[in-house]
Amino acid sequence: MHAPGNSRTSTSQRVIARGAGSNALSFIIRFAARASFLYVGARLYGAVNYGVFTMASAMVELAVPVASLGLRRMIFPWLEEETQGDGLAAKARPATHVLLDALLLAMCAGLAVSLLLIAATRLLPTSVASDQLRLAFAILAPAVLGQITGDIALAATRWTHKMRYEVIARGLVEPYVLTGVALAAWYLGLEQTGMLIGYWAGSLALAGFSVWSARHCLGSLHLRRWRPDPSVLVRRARSLLPASGSDFLTSLAQRIDLYLVGFLLGDAAVGVYGVLRQLKTPIVQVRQAFDGILTPLTARTMKADGDVATGEATAAATRVILTLQLGVVLLMAAAGDALLDLFGQHYATGYPALIAMVLAETINGAFGVSELILYFRRPALALQVNLILILIAAGAIPLLAPTYGILGASLAMLLAAVVAALMRRYWLAGLGVRRDPLHALTPALAAAAAVLIGSYAGWVLRTTVFEHAPVALGKALAPTIALMLYIGFVMVWRRMRPGVLSLDRYRVS
């Protein structure tokens, strides 16, 4: 154990803060771009059209991990091997030729997946898919090709340790082209297909910019000298299937609730549900801001200090992430009603479902950090977490959604998140990682106390001082007070226990 204040502590904190801060900036840019499209799609096009677009684009996003063959991650070892003459390459090859090989494989898989999607839409019964949804599936299915091109080419730019191209592509080029074209299409009267056209435009812009970026990072393509070897590519494709399957399960676990709501409740309901999923993005991004830096540090800590010490480090990371996420949850509770009112009357009833949704994402995000240990030690168990989420959603949503609507779907995902967290803890104990069960209790208690006190104070103020205030202000009073109290509690906690939110247990070298 290393005491706070030594060189390792300061180095760990600095490295993690820098990595998380860089990722957070990228996510802020992306969320701002996504918010602009959300307003255009949900407010102008309406719940039904936005619901159709949400379902169709989600099907594309589910197909991308299969079509890309896991190359968003697996292109890195391929580049290392081929550019140095190892692996399946007889001699060193230009990095651009490795990229072209990867794109060729993905294009073949993407064409097959696109045709399969189009054929599958015709088999959907009319009771679960409207004619408008079938048309949207058919129009968007080939857009898989543009998305996988962007994923793989941008991964190649990261191989050169240049992150700005992905930030620009995903945070600026794709979303703003999508928003601009969708807005123009709405003004032209293309209410049913405008967002679909915008998605195609965004995908093409993403693909073009990504290929240009990869060429800029890796050098000339040398197309005349490119000689792909079919037998080598077939062997590569076979070796990539496990990674592709893993990515598919992860993607399905993240979206199965959306698909079930769409098929069970219809286009308008999934439109509202899709807006709620977009509004929970800040919760997701708190966790994702740490992922990029915590993943390699977890592997390094496991190698240097063992699983038990790594368990202590991930417990500390859970406290930090949970503390931040609970603050965002209270912020969403304060602003959620007003945000939903911006999109129209259809969305205003989704507030309870939004709260359940952000709580589920908080549990998944904070307590999912320890899953990194399972990924490195027992990857099959890590996959089972996604299977558990899928099975619970597939069983609970059809039971709850017909009666409780989108709130039932959100509660089902909250239940799945709690079960998944308990299963992770059980499996970690099997590896000898037995963390204090109350290690993250303090921020949870602080949030609960803030909510209770804030609710009472808000009721008192609403019935006295703000008796004639606008309804929106009255609703926001209690959660706003709770947020301020929570921030105060956390500041006192940090002062009383210095280092309690420190991540110094991670090895950075």
In a domain, 361, yes or no: yes
Per the domain annotation, does 298 fall within a domain?
A: yes
Q: Which of 201, 234, 262 is the last residue of a domain?
A: 262
Same domain, 330 and 205: no
Listed range (246-250, 301-305, 308-312, 504-508) with the worst mean pLDDT: 504-508
20 & 89 share domain: no
Give the span between the Cα atoms of 339 and 347, in whole angstroms.
9
Task: Look at residue 200 and tell me whether its pLDDT is greater than 70.
Answer: yes
Q: Report how far apart, in Å, the C-alpha atoms of 328 and of each of 203, 353, 361 are.
A: 31, 16, 11
Coil/strand/helix, residue 94: coil
Say whether both 302 and 431 belong to one domain: yes
In a domain, 269, yes or no: no
104 in a structural domain: yes
- Number of helices (H), then strands (E), belonging to the chain: the values are 19, 0
Tell whether 159 and 241 lie within a shared domain: yes
Residues 14 and 145 in one domain: no
Residues 258 and 215 in one domain: yes
Q: Quick one: which of 382, 361, 383 has its CA closest to 428?
A: 382
87 inside domain: yes
At 91, the pLDDT band (50, 70, 90 cuts) reads low
For residue 196, the enclosing domain spans: 45-262
Q: Indicate the residue among 201, 230, 262 that finishes a domain.
A: 262
Task: Name the one residue in this structure whose structure tokens are 């959620």.
Answer: 336
pLDDT attached to residue 21: 54
Same domain, 256 and 284: no
Residue 500 in any domain: the answer is yes
Judgement on whether residues 215 and 84 belong to the same structural domain of the protein: yes
Say whether both 178 and 74 belong to one domain.
yes
Q: Is residue 273 situated within a structural domain? A: no
Query: Which regions of 299-420 does DSSP assign to beta strands (E)?
Result: none
Statement: residue 3 has pLDDT above 50: no
Say if residues 313 and 506 touch (Cβ distance below 8 Å): yes
CA distances from 393 to 171, 386, 419 (A): 30, 11, 11
Do 158 and 223 belong together in one domain?
yes
pLDDT above 80: residue 299: no
Q: Per-residue confidence at 38, pLDDT binned at 50, 70, 90?
A: confident
Last residue of a domain, one of 235, 262, 289: 262
Number of domains in the chain: 2
Q: Give 245-307 as a 3 state SS string.
A: HHHHHHHHHHHHHHHHHHHHHCHHHHHHHHHHHHHCHHHHHHHHHHHHHHHHHHHHHHHHHHH
Shared domain for 191 and 138, answered yes or no, is: yes
Q: Comparing 241 with 46, which gets the higher pLDDT?
A: 46
pLDDT digit string, tens, across residues 445-494: 888 898 899 888 888 887 787 766 676 666 778 888 888 999 998 889 88
Q: Are residues 246 and 359 in the same domain?
A: no
Domain membership of residue 274 (yes or no) is no
